[in-house]
Amino acid sequence: MLEGLFQPMHLLVIFFIALLVFGPKKLPELGKGIGEGIRALKDSMKEGSSEPAASATVEVKSSAPADLSNRPS
């Protein structure tokens, strides 16, 4: 299904469309932001794998009401 998605011609077309939409001044800023986001995701995944049991014992408290059947329509 996704075998031919990242062919060189497709990547050039995607880059050209991004250049038209965002302009040449904005593309480096977008690339930097995406790179920082990916780096932060990788770092958080590495930190999460070193603490497998610690995150399993944390309870999540919900601020939503317990009974929603009394809500006005």
Per-residue pLDDT tens for 3-60?
Answer: 777 788 888 898 899 889 988 888 889 889 999 999 999 999 988 776 655 444 555 5
Secondary structure class of 44 (helix, strand, coil): helix
Q: What pLDDT does residue 55 have? A: 47
Q: What is the DSSP string of 13-43?
A: HHHHHHHHHH-TTTHHHHHHHHHHHHHHHHH
Q: What pLDDT does residue 53 have? A: 53
Spatial CA neighbour of 30 closest among 42, 40, 19: 19
Q: What pLDDT does residue 24 have? A: 86
